[in-house]
Chains A and B, each alone.
Chain A
């Protein structure tokens, strides 16, 4: 191995650049920039503003956070639903008027005052909600106009009551406590706000209502088609927003106790800056309570600090305006280009040196032949996505379809068929357990079980989360093939944790160990990842000794064996290395050997490119997917090997017409059945010199009782 090659190998082993793409695909990545901006802002002002970290400053700040925070949370709800509410400043003013009038002049009790304030808020909100939600008017303009209307109403009423407001004082202990009280050093209003924020967080992230809001904001038409009442959802968002604004006004009154004629003006720009800064998208569908809070703190720290530094008001406004413009710009660009960036960095090929392939020269067991040229056919034109095939004790044939169904064909000629069970995902590898339940790996969904009566049950869709993985590897992206140990444990392979099934080829391009072998124990119901970092683990087969499992690693072109019990328990050994093609499913043969399907053949160009990760990365970025280097999927092959890893014989279809790609095969009573996930048929090959009564369930579980 040359020095240069070693350098490349070490570079890809110790600089895991696939992590960049995985971090970018995280949801929290949206919040990173605002968070960093907030930290930098605090660092700058913390060093130049006197008394920035003083207790009084922070207490004062937390009181303001409660008020602006409620307004911003309201705006967040509206923005998540895909709208905007600019009238919040005027709604705030009207709510302040209601509170002050009720508490000061009317001498109402706390409860009545609060209810009246919230009612005023809800009424203002309902006007906006009706226009935007029901009449489907443009949110921005509509609320801009209601801003003027509510403000005019305030300006007409306020001068008539302003004298009465300042000459009377409220008579409510709870009200005073809310404004001036302290709970564990924090202002009471702040504690009150934290409780509300927590409740909203749970509703938005976990509740049905929150999910509906996100659905409506993210994709309005899809939400409508999914049966969500879009108009009422939007309606409710505006009402909730205005109620929260009214609540903020109530807190404001409790703290300040009076109001000027310009109360709440400019609040909408402040709140809007906070939401957009926090990373809540204009246009809806993205946002959270935490983001809103980040934006609130940013805006308050900025404006308070500028105030402390005695910056004139207009400059302060101007700064806020530019910050708003810049953050909207970043938000628009980020939303538009995020998936493009992600696409270009997510695929990160690594170094892989392929071993020399086993010879296919004439005379060798792997010699190319045409033994699959004249095979029988089942389900021509009916099958679509039959990855695996299996037989029950009544000789009935089971296979999957791309539409998410398990099909059952009846002997003797396998023309009569029925849908045995509907799974909903693409079924891949299958196995029968001791009680004749069918165990199935379903792509993107996990491990399922179908009883002989056709009842479907989820066995597992979650395994332990590994500590070092950036992507959430507790879910199953591509469960591929399974088999069952004599003690009932189910061993199955998950081909990759980084890609969905339809992107399987991207994983081939990476050729990193993205897959794993997982064990599910039906006795405890527990699922555990057994062997991580395997290169596209595919076929799984319990060996005849009952102590070990054979499994294929497709892109590495090798077969491994893992021992569960016996003297070698816990060890992994290589069985075959350097296959000329990419191994898929492995199944038992009647004479104590194993069948192996090769889904495609290696090509010299692709083999060479595996040693050049940089080349493959450039290819993935610059060339469209259909022009990438691909394995040769036009030549299928089935071979038989023994426990020692010696290849005994092989079956080829050189023409590539009937079985270009073979993903699985199963020997059943003297006939070999051949499947390919992209083929429109299933092939049958008579094996006259083999045991004409052998079938797999009996080999596993003995004769039925």
Chain B
């Protein structure tokens, strides 16, 4: 009977005609709105058209990465290789295109490389059973290290005669920048994939309780490998967006805190790190908040380091709230699950 009592409020909260439950998603939306209003009133440049476009462009890279990360986190994983895959994958494409290969083909080969890296990560996590956070951290630094050995310089510039790359950088559809459209397409595809396909439902099942999913006969291992392959491909897509926007890629981006910004988006948006909950909507909400925050701090002329400090502290608070709202289940967390 205790179980029934516990379950009741959640059921009531979702029922029709009941007041909307205060959850993380709504809190984040409210904070975003407040920040937006405060920045709009306080900072005269904030509401300018140029700034909004810049904000949206910045957000598109972060958001695309966060869609991939969110997808992995839903399956109770984490992918810290995303930024490394992004910079090395795109840099590789540019590097081989400098041999005279058509950039479109080079980009496809780069995507293949990204998929292979994701496959390797997935196998390490699903079959070798290395804790995901550990495996991805070590693999990320290995990927970046290999990249630095191969590429002579840190910054690689894309060829400037590729039409579709130019479109990504400066094209618009109904007034919206193409990069935002790509983010929207990726997010929508992921949303449908997670909610409507059998595969997506299995990702939720695996994230909710991996051992139960496995005992039920779900192919959890191939499922996990596929997740990391998809997230690597999404990371590569984000890399293409970035190349289009700034006409090149700086591999030193790996050393920045971009991956933690991605994590911040996911955790702030309300995708619990214990897996099995949340979705693309949470990613979008988180992306908007972090985008506004970053943009505002940049206009306020905060130094890069202080921006990092502030965002990290927010992430830490978000993690703490996550830990309190979704306490770790000692029954299903395994030894080595740190």
Interface residues, chain A, CB within 8 Å of chain B?
82-84, 131, 135-142, 144-146, 148-149, 152-153, 155-156, 220-221, 269, 281-285, 312, 314-315, 317-318, 321-322, 324-325, 328-329, 332-333, 335-336
Question: Once bound together, how far apart are the Cα atoms of A145 and B133, in whole Å?
Answer: 13
| Chain B contacts for A322, CB-based, 8 A | 142
Q: Smallest CB-CB separation from B309: which chain A residue?
A: A152
Q: How far is the CB of B104 from chain A (nearest CB, A)?
A: 30
B141 with A269: CB separation less than 8 A = yes
- The 8 Å CB contact of A140, one of B133, B142, B327, is B133
| CB closest residue in chain A, given B255 | A265
B330 nearest in chain A by CB position:
A221
With a cutoff of 8 Å between Cβ atoms, the chain A residues found around residue B78 in the complex are 141
Interface contact B306-A156, CB-CB below 8 Å = yes
Among listed B204-212, B285-293, B317-325, interface-contacting one: B317-325
A386 to chain B minimum Cβ distance, whole angstroms, is 39
If A317-B141, A325-B139, A329-B124 touch, whether A135 touches B336 (CB-CB below 8 Å) is: no
Q: Check if B145 is an interface residue, CB within 8 A of chain A.
A: yes
A282-B336 in contact (CB<8A):
yes
A302 to chain B, nearest CB (A): 15
Shortest C-beta distance, A327 to chain B (Å), equals 10
Contact across chains for A332 and B338 when beta carbons are under 8 A apart = no
Considering the complex, give the chain B residue whose CB is closest to the CB of A322: B142
A152 CB contact (under 8 Å) in B135, B139, B312, B315: B312
Q: How far is the CA of A124 from the CA of B305 in the complex (A)?
A: 19
| Most interface-central of A145, A146, A317 (chain B CB within 10 A) | A145
| Cα-based distance from A141 to B259 in the complex (angstroms) | 12
When each residue 236-262 of chain B gets 1 if its CB lies under 8 Å from chain A and 0 otherwise, what string results? 000000000000000000000100100
| Distance of A332 Cα from B148 Cα, bound (Å) | 30
**Size band of the B side of the interface?**
35 or more
B215 at the interface (CB under 8 A from A): no
B337 proximal to A (CB < 8 A)? yes
Bound-complex Cα distance A315 to B260 (A): 25
A139 to B133, CA, bound (A): 11
Q: Are B316 and A317 in contact (CB under 8 A)?
A: no
In the bound complex, what is the Cα–Cα distance between A269 and B145 (angstroms)?
Answer: 14
Residue contact A328 to B319, C-beta cutoff 8 Å: no
- A317 and B145 form a contact (CB under 8 A): yes
If A135-B320, A324-B138 are given as contacts, then 12 extra A-B residue pairs at C-beta distance below 8 Å, sorted by A number, are A131-B319, A137-B319, A145-B312, A148-B257, A148-B260, A152-B309, A153-B309, A221-B330, A283-B335, A325-B138, A325-B139, A328-B134
Is B21 among interface residues, defined by CB-CB distance under 8 A?
Answer: no
Find out whether the CB atom of B323 lies under 8 angstroms from the CB atom of A138.
Answer: yes
In the complex, the 3 A-B pairs of residues with the closest C-beta atoms, listed nearest first: A283-B336, A318-B145, A152-B309
Least CB distance, A651 to chain B, in whole angstroms? 52
Contact status A137-B323, CB under 8 Å: yes
CB of B311, distance to nearest CB on chain A (Å):
8
Are B149 and A312 within 8 A (Cβ)? Answer: yes
14 sample A-B contacts, Cβ–Cβ < 8 Å, listed by A number: A83-B338, A131-B316, A131-B320, A138-B273, A140-B338, A145-B319, A146-B312, A148-B312, A149-B309, A153-B309, A284-B335, A317-B145, A318-B146, A332-B336
Question: Is there an interface contact between B316 and A149, defined as CB atoms closer than 8 Å?
Answer: yes
**Which residues on B sit within 8 Å (CB–CB) of A315?**
145, 149
A604 CB, min distance to chain B CBs, angstroms: 43
Q: Report the Cα distance A221→B260, complex, angstroms.
A: 32
B308 adjacent to chain A (CB < 8 Å): yes
Q: Is B128 an interface residue (CB 8 A)?
A: yes
Asked if B312 contacts A314 (CB within 8 A), the reply is no
Pair A139/B141 contact, Cβ less than 8 Å: no
